[in-house]
Amino acid sequence: MHLDADLDANPGAKLDASPDADGAPMIWRPMATLVSGVLYGALFPPLGLGALAWVALVPLVVALRSGSGRSGVALGALFGWVGTLAVIPWLIPTLSGHFERPLPFAIAFWAIFGTTALAPYYGLLLGAQAGAQRRLPVGLFPWLFAAAWTAAEWLRIELGFRSPWTRLGDAAVDWPWLRQLAALFGVFGLSFLLAAANAVLAEAWLVLRARPQRLPRPLLANATALLLCVGAALAYGAVRSETLAHTARVSHDGFDVALVQGNVPPELRWRRTGASKVLRRYTGLTLRVQRDAEAGPPDLVVWPENAIQTGVDDPVYGPPLHALARPAPLVLGAPHRESRDGRRADFNSAFLLAGGDVHGRYDKRRLLPFSETRPLGDLGALGSRGELDAASYAAGTEATLFEVAGHSLAPLICMEALYPDLSREAARAGARSLLVLSNDGWFRGSGAAAQSLAMVRFRAIETGLPVLRATTTGVSAVIAPDGRVLERLEPGTSGVLRTTVALGSGAPTLYTRLGDAFALACLGATLLAVVVARWRKPPTSA
């Protein structure tokens, strides 16, 4: 068979020169998928080899391209499982260390989470696309693969355990111009572009492997289209970056904020015997800032999530907190308890204290499964970390804006900053900045804190708002609307990050206006391709 002539004559022909093109389960396919899963994990910290995002999926794409839809489901699920495990190996020391679970339990939980969090979505969507591509024009393959990939990323955030952790586009966080694409389509736009690039490279590898006399027209067209898309994204990113930098230079709307990172040992926060030590640590750091004779009190002091666990209304520890908030407003993470239908409900909350009163409270809405909720009852529950930890929390129901010095700030708590819809909702409500309170003290191993920070940086790009992030143990950071980290406190350090930041202009980005319309379009395109392929006759070779 002359591959180039076949493709030009029949653009629906299957681009594969392997001897097992009938979809038989050959061992090289799962092996190639495993390679892609491992490479996917290497994209993110601690390795952080983001440049591999252009090629990490090539082995997976070649395996999908050479098989049937049925094998594609298995390969997609295998990739989702291996990719998840490769990204979060830190979950094992976290469970065995912070949550004090036996090592076998930690390993089993890690393996099961990898099976349920991502694998079903990649299996179904990539498998459906692999089956449909046999009946569709070959030139559509890279774009349908990218659409299926993006749809799978969206579904895993919206369904099941709703895992937003490390999407393909997050690997582009350190690419100053390209990452600005998130202002248009969210991280989903970057994921789509990178997935399409992997598919085009996989197609090129298959063609070159077959040694055609000339390159087929569909491949040349797709390569050209991809280069144009990348070029347009870079051009847009360059313009946006310069525009935001200019706006920050001429802005007279500076906001003086102090982010306090206590670096308190986790076990102290969850036991009443350690409450006074925790309060003294944060109080000492805060007073140092407030008594700065040269700079004066800041506009706002921010403590992280779970900064204290005794509550702002505690008869012993509440009054010192309110007194501390008189020179400058104080936002801090603390529990809130109330009665609902005769039963006690515990909330993971953020409070705004000023002038001796509580001026605002936000209850965390998106709770962390197994740690803050028990989706399977007591089965697999991680348990209480101390007598001050409720172990199971109720979810808040309303978004909140804190008004400080005439500015609206949107509080988000820990993992909530990984969900684009919550940040987008805040931007639409008129927030001038995102205020993220996080407890990263429970992370063990390496890479988790850096992964979390990388994802939060995209909320700034997507909304066009600066992010003020205070954490218990690091990384606390001030993030500009273009995703740059302006200031940071490293993990394992205690201190105060004080800086003046230019607040957001209030002009909504395209992503703020349209939300996940692009991701939904990808899902629609994937489903449409499956329907069309079902009623289309398989192409015949020339």
Residue 128: both structure tokens together: 């459906």
Task: Please report where in the chains the tokens 């500015």 appear, as a residue.
Answer: 407
- Tell whether 332 and 205 lie within a shared domain: no
Split into its structural domains, the chain has a count of 2
Model pLDDT for residues 407-449, shown as the tens digit of each residue: 999 999 999 999 999 999 999 999 999 999 999 888 888 899 9
Q: Which residues of 24-56 are buried (b: 16+ CB within 10 A; e: fewer)?
A: eebeebbebbbbbbebbbbbbbeebebeebbbb
- Tell whether 165 and 38 lie within a shared domain: yes
Residues 458/452, Cβ–Cβ less than 8 Å: no
- Tell whether 213 and 278 lie within a shared domain: no
Residue 539 scores a pLDDT above 70: no
Which pLDDT does position 18 carry in this prediction?
44
Residue 18 covered by a domain? yes
Residue 59: both structure tokens together: 């082995």
The residue with greater pLDDT, 356 or 122, is 122
Q: What residues contact 199, with CB distance under 8 A and at least 6 apart? A: 57, 61, 141, 142, 143, 145, 146
Residue 37 covered by a domain? yes
Task: Summarize the confidence of residues 347-373 as an average pLDDT.
Answer: 91
Confidence grade of residue 21 (pLDDT, cut at 50, 70, 90): very low
Residue 240 backbone dihedrals phi, psi, to 5 degrees:
-65, -40
Side-chain half-sphere of 354: how many Cα atoms within 13 Å?
17
Percentage of residues of the chain with pLDDT beyond 90: 66
- Tell whether 445 and 496 lie within a shared domain: yes
Which pLDDT does position 136 carry in this prediction?
87
For residue 138, give Cα distances in angstroms to 70, 132, 260. Answer: 19, 11, 55
Which pLDDT does position 17 carry in this prediction?
38
Q: List the domain range (segments joined by +) for residue 222.
A: 3-246+516-535
Residue 14 scores a pLDDT above 50: no
Confidence grade of residue 261 (pLDDT, cut at 50, 70, 90): very high
The residue with greater pLDDT, 378 or 110, is 110
- Tell whether 297 and 149 lie within a shared domain: no
Residue 180 scores a pLDDT above 90: yes
Minimum mean pLDDT range among 11-25, 123-137, 247-261, 345-359: 11-25
> What is the C-alpha separation between 264 and 493, in angstroms, rounded?
9
Residue 83 covered by a domain? yes
Which pLDDT does position 15 carry in this prediction?
42
- Tell whether 495 and 527 lie within a shared domain: no
Which pLDDT does position 281 carry in this prediction?
93
Residue 239 covered by a domain? yes
> What is the C-alpha separation between 269 and 154, in angstroms, rounded?
35
Which pLDDT does position 184 carry in this prediction?
98
> What is the C-alpha separation between 471 and 266, in angstroms, rounded?
12
- Tell whether 240 and 261 lie within a shared domain: no
Confidence grade of residue 51 (pLDDT, cut at 50, 70, 90): very high
The residue with greater pLDDT, 465 or 371, is 465
Task: Summarize the confidence of residues 81-93 as an average pLDDT.
Answer: 95
Which pLDDT does position 131 carry in this prediction?
87
Minimum mean pLDDT range among 183-192, 225-234, 363-372, 508-517: 363-372
Residue 188 scores a pLDDT above 80: yes
Which pLDDT does position 250 carry in this prediction?
76
What's the CATH number where 474 sits?
3.60.110.10
Task: Indicate the SS3 state at residue 359.
Answer: strand
**DSSP output for 79-134:** HHHHHHHHH-TTHHHIIIIIS---HHHHHHHHHHHHHHHTHHHHHHHHHHHHHHGG
- Tell whether 141 and 275 lie within a shared domain: no
The residue with greater pLDDT, 529 or 26, is 529
> What is the C-alpha separation between 473 and 491, in angstroms, rounded?
6
- Tell whether 139 and 209 lie within a shared domain: yes
> What is the C-alpha separation between 156 and 116, in angstroms, rounded?
10
Residue 58 scores a pLDDT above 70: yes
Residue 368 covered by a domain? no
Confidence grade of residue 369 (pLDDT, cut at 50, 70, 90): confident
Which pLDDT does position 535 carry in this prediction?
82
Residue 509 covered by a domain? no
Residue 433 covered by a domain? yes
Which pLDDT does position 69 carry in this prediction?
73
Which pLDDT does position 270 carry in this prediction?
65
Q: Whole-number mean pLDDT of the chain?
A: 88
Residue 20 scores a pLDDT above 70: no
**DSSP output for 6-51:** HHHH-TTS-----TTTT----THHHHHHHHHHHHHHHTSTTT--GG
Q: What residues contact 130, with CB distance under 8 A and at least 6 apart? A: 64, 65, 67, 68, 69, 71, 72, 73, 75, 76
Residue 222 covered by a domain? yes
- Tell whether 138 and 23 lie within a shared domain: yes
- Tell whether 261 and 332 lie within a shared domain: yes
- Tell whether 237 and 285 lie within a shared domain: no
Model pLDDT for residues 288-328, shown as the tens digit of each residue: 999 886 888 999 999 999 898 888 988 888 999 999 999 99
Residue 40: both structure tokens together: 């996917």
Q: What residues contact 114, with CB distance under 8 A and at least 6 apart? A: 80, 81, 82, 84, 85, 88
Confidence grade of residue 468 (pLDDT, cut at 50, 70, 90): very high
